[in-house]
Structure 1
């Protein structure tokens, strides 16, 4: 068997059909998984049907699965099923497919392990997707950073029109049952969030006001590596799935707006522009799957 799946329902279980399934791929995320799960279980939730959470520990060489299971008591106290699926293989797309195969909820929330959600996000996503029409939704992105370079980059990145006015879904995006029917298994691609977002026309995407925290890469080298990977992911979608280009509504970033940003925040703009320039001028190295940050 290609995948090692162990103890599929070894944690808190519920016979009630969930209103929403959270699919959480996690590879070597022992340092972060408890914080992510703690934010989920602290969600405000008034629906009678529970929230189901599936952690897919894929290719882990640390105790990601064990630390996820340690949260079972908190989930059980709310009557929310928490299941941990262990796969020998790494690879986020395989993990997403394994989670989809096990999920029971009609609304699917795809969540990265380094994200922390605000208390109202799950409920707002559920309400936005409670329709028979295909819909995609995400929350208000709060980009977080620690180091000087990362903070400078994030200050400008969050003001780029696509990030400021769109529904990018970085780190967390959700679809309803009609929306999930738009594609079958996740294909082996770099950018799962871009692929899913572009399966929906702009009018089918909903941004809810509840925020979530998503960390940017730390250090100049990592910023360049991640930006190169992001650009490659977008280019790959355009090449492999040209029919999805019709749903791309990325707004322009005029030179005059860039100049205003540069004048307001010279350091931030210098770091942001420097990362973009480095991606263009330095050759990419072949790499397999890696986490985005």
Structure 2
């Protein structure tokens, strides 16, 4: 946190690397947010972009200014999401922080509901209802159907792609470590009772096709293993329901096609270890 933060201000931080296909829709959804009294700033932390991401962001500066929300684009040739978030965090002036992936689209009520939830002295982690954007490929649609029925999704406050904390919550950790899963790392700094899912939704795109699903899932699993290895004490805050054999059978009976695709991805992920590449599946 910076020394010049304002507790009544919300800083929305977006790490972006070559997001020219997505960043416009993300920013449009922020411009469409319903009115609320808190001050807002938007910081896009562009890292190692070689496409038009930064130019697209700069094209939105005037429109955000007209709403009274400053928009800044921080540019760095250094790749890596944790570093990009840390650079934006150091520049942010809001006591409340929202961390948003560049491919997320928010419903108009999301930020107002988040701010109302964060307006407390108690440490709070808040997110919206995660919805998976409709995929082009049938195999991703089948995988997504099953994924959305898993216990951790049904339990709410998942925060994949979008999460926010108030000042007391942000004080729980310092700089983001150089790890794969920043969203899991933050979520596990809060007990289940401190994690809140508001009613408004945000849309998250899933990787397209079997090969990309395997690559992304392999990286996600590696991120969970990494946190368990580096920060084992955080696992006490998981509070995740277990599926069990009976739950597996119910899922298979309810959606055989989705279960078959999910099981195939699961088996292929374990066929070889995670590599070092960043996997987005686009």
TM-score range, shorter chain: over 0.9
Counterpart selection for 2:77 from 84, 88, 96 = 88
1:183 Cα deviation from its structure 2 partner = 0.7
CA distance in 1, matches of 2:104, 2:279: 16
The match for 2:217 is 227
Counterpart selection for 1:276 from 257, 266, 269 = 266
The match for 1:160 is 150
Alignment of 1:140-155 (within 5 A): 140-144=129-133, 145-155=135-145
The match for 1:177 is 167
The match for 1:12 is none
1:21 Cα deviation from its structure 2 partner = 0.6
Q: SS in structure 2 opposite 1:184?
A: coil
1:266 Cα deviation from its structure 2 partner = 1.0
Counterpart selection for 2:45 from 56, 62, 67 = 56
Q: Does residue 118 of structure 1 match 2:118?
A: no
**In 1, are the aligned partners of 2:129 and 2:156 still within 8 Å (CA)?**
no
Q: Does residue 108 of structure 1 match 2:108?
A: no
Q: SS in structure 2 opposite 1:106?
A: strand
1:189-241 Cα shifts (integer Å, max 9, x gaps): 00000000001111111110100000110010110111111111011101100
CA distance in 1, matches of 2:53, 2:79: 13
1:63 Cα deviation from its structure 2 partner = 1.1
Q: How many residues align?
A: 276
CA distance in 1, matches of 2:66, 2:235: 45
**Length-normalised TM-score, structure 2:** 0.94
**In 2, are the aligned partners of 1:91 and 1:289 still within 8 Å (CA)?**
no
Alignment of 1:172-251 (within 5 A): 172-251=162-241
1:17 Cα deviation from its structure 2 partner = 8.5
1:292 Cα deviation from its structure 2 partner = 7.1
The alignment's C-alpha RMSD in Å is: 1.4
Specify whether residues 128 and 17 from structure 1 end up closer, same or farther in structure 2 by C-alpha distance, changes over 3 A only: closer
**In 1, are the aligned partners of 2:42 and 2:71 still within 8 Å (CA)?**
yes
Specify whether residues 32 and 188 from structure 1 end up closer, same or farther in structure 2 by C-alpha distance, changes over 3 A only: same
The match for 1:74 is 63
**In 1, are the aligned partners of 2:207 and 2:280 still within 8 Å (CA)?**
no
1:146 Cα deviation from its structure 2 partner = 2.1
Q: SS in structure 2 opposite 1:19?
A: strand
Specify whether residues 192 and 119 from structure 1 end up closer, same or farther in structure 2 by C-alpha distance, changes over 3 A only: same
The match for 2:276 is 287
CA distance in 2, matches of 1:264, 1:283: 30
CA distance in 2, matches of 1:164, 1:292: 24
1:284 Cα deviation from its structure 2 partner = 2.1
CA distance in 2, matches of 1:175, 1:274: 36
Structure 1 segments of 4+ aligned residues over 4 angstroms from their partners? none
